[in-house]
Amino acid sequence: MRIVLFGPPGAGKGTQARRLVEELGLRHISTGDLLRAAVAKHTPLGRQAESYMKAGRLVPGRIVEGLAEEAMAAAGCDRFILDGYPRTVQQARWLDAFLRRQQAPLDAVISLDVTDEVIVARLSKRRTHRITGRTYHLDYDPPPRSIDPTLIVQRPDDRPDAIRHRLEVYHARTKAVEGYYRRQGLLHVVDGDAAVDVVFGRILKVIERAVVQPMT
């Protein structure tokens, strides 16, 4: 099973991917998480990526392709959810070519549909655990009082100017990826503006229809 979880920044891709990992035992491949780990470790790749990420700009394709390829290969090119990749039509073409070589086509691209207003509300109040990477929302899912508050931080790209820029990049360069997969018959749009459990149920229904049934 090979799934792409697609959508604007803050649509809930990471939140839902983590639920899918628990429910279906898939591997979660988030290019954002891989890049943040490289930045935290001060690797040469992380040093190249850092300024792009802080500003909410796309990191150059060759850097991200290497990370995505390594992670998919480590998963045996199966049973994974890609989160945050592909983000441009060029990346989608690269992914197709890579998976074709592995004879491992995508099963479904699930796009979470959320308005810009909801995204701003979600991202401006998102907080992240510095060590585990678990995300919280100050209103909908606040960090428990038992957690040391100094471990709960705001991502540098969750500040208002970076959020605005990420949304601009999404509309200018990433949204077109939907059309690319619609033409291949792989796209499933899910309304992401509901409680986490409700959205999760919608995603599971899509997977049941698109992935599980054709295989039986």
Catalytic residue set? 13, 87, 126, 155, 166
Window of 8-16, 99-107, 146-154, 179-187 that interacts with ligand AP5 by CB under 6 A: 8-16
Window of 29-37, 38-46, 69-77, 100-108 that interacts with ligand AP5 by CB under 6 A: 29-37
CA distance 78 to 76: 5
Closest distance to ligand AP5 from the beta carbon of 82 (Å): 9
The amino acid at residue 72 is M
Interaction of residue 111 with ligand AP5, rule CB under 6 A = no
x/- site string to ligand AP5, residues 76 to 105, per CB under 6 A?
A: --------xx-x---x--------------
Pairing of strands 27-30, 80-83: parallel
CA distance 197 to 73: 31
Q: Could you say which of 79, 100, 140, 179 contacts ligand AP5 (CB under 6 A)?
A: 140
Interaction of residue 56 with ligand AP5, rule CB under 6 A = yes
CA distance 20 to 80: 10
User: What does the block give as tokens for 115?
Assistant: 């308005």
Window of 3-11, 38-46, 69-77, 102-110 that interacts with ligand AP5 by CB under 6 A: 3-11
- 135 — phi, psi (to 5°)? -100, 150
Interaction of residue 12 with ligand AP5, rule CB under 6 A = yes
Number of separate helices (H) and strands (E) present in the chain: 10, 8
Q: How many CB atoms lie within 10 A of CB 111?
A: 22
> Coil, helix or strand for 11?
coil
Contacts with ligand AP5 by CB under 6 A lie at 7, 9-15, 30-32, 35, 52-53, 56-59, 64, 84-85, 87, 91, 122, 126, 135-137, 140-141, 157, 166, 195-196, 199
